[in-house]
Structure 1
């Protein structure tokens, strides 16, 4: 009965066993004589009954505001109901074969889905489609057959909770499926996996220099060019060790360059520009090592010759006077041996 005496729905029975966790269970018996649409419509009226609010005339609440004294009407009827949400309803079907009864339960569930499904909720921060259902405005519905009740009793695994698979004991069936607690467990498992994956990643990014294990893959650091984003790599270094390593390499490169400059300065100059055989200092082409013994031009002149497509450098052949003088004393010419060699490789008559 709804407040005001207007009859909407009346359960066939009410089962109350607070000692086992069932403060109230409304029972609806279906003998397979009514259309499934009419059976499903009853659950809409059950929800309407549960939604209705009435004034609580408890003297203990007489000092409260009128709006604060409005409570759900069913709580006045069953004040000992302690489960969250509306009181559950049990649908017991009978007077048909097992297949027909199973199909009848399924049809009623599909037609009354708005009454028992609950509303879908999710966290805005989640980067997945997972969530949970709130059942504050849903009627929990469990279903079974009279034959199963007779065989296993009301506490046996005979109850199918609409929205769940399989049959369960009554207490298990009354637990809301896919609720916030289940979501929290899944979320905690995801966070554990993410934390584990993060730690494994961090362990793989241990610094090769000092053995430091980072907390994050990328950090903002201050370097010569200001603030930079530093990303660790497997087998790499932390920012401090990276800076030290870079500075050491720069020092070694500078020392190598100075050694190359000193060594090349002691060699004969470039044939074309008469500068250092190692090239101009601080140029991009300057040699970082000692020039080869047979090198005749600096890198800049070699590049210029190639750009003009001049072909290989051919030194001028020694004159007869130079050849005669060479028989008496060693010529004061750093390119003398190459000139003699080029004269043999490239005879004057073969030169263009």
Structure 2
């Protein structure tokens, strides 16, 4: 089957944060001693982008960018002037779609008054706040550097600056959290009027402080009760669930994350950033990731040493990679997208489809890949069926 190039996004990793949280397994590095070389890092990002465009050739160069996402770490540690410098550099190198979504993740404890005006002027049109909870005790247990009142003040400050597209990250099943506590967090989030809420369960990831010394977490039954109750609460407030952990007002779904879940393309620049690109001419889906440590990444801007790994995704891995993303979407994806975005015929997954449909995990719809409510609950098992 011929590959068809999907939409292209740009992911930008900003690796520093004030303090590493005990649950975090992202590539983030706490600031110690001297301030990080923020300006130098921005220049390294542009050199990285130049090198990727050169390496990938027609597979990337000149393609329209539909979204940009600054993730971390804590991107809001970077001054608006530096974000502006970077976005100007991107516009010089790649065309941006009209109304391209540009998101910046921010920690409520790191943004000074007035910075939101600068981010907006630079072109950032969507903010994502890492709130996690509005309970000060839970925030302390999570190692967060902000309080509930500081979180509310930061969101209101962004709204006063003119931001109309804001996501709030919330966690549930926190240490010693009750159902009422989880619902109270959702109520306080909704009261702030964000356009999007990311609501996900705290999990103990390997190589984190919480994994080494697990806190007392609610059991699976209590966590499931929290998920169901909060889903209903968000729906009542007008937020439609469109992905396992994502809820949005009408027309406010996250375009960048939707591109991930639909197995779209994205360039990944910055320390530890991952990218995925469809090379139609070569007939392959290619992944590239960058070296993780900021010092190693900065050692030779744009040089081969910035690359941590690179290569095509094997054909027998593509069905699992595709389903790992697409089946997270509540409404599913067209069946035709599988062939267009993997280059594989639908027959390649016929046995797995028969198994998952037979177990009641997928709807029996030949034109669409769509999980049932039962399949959504056992999504990991559904996706595992597509492992070669």
| TM tier relative to shorter chain | under 0.3
Which structure's CA Rg is the greater one?
1
TM-score (norm 2): 0.18
Decide which structure has greater strand share: 2
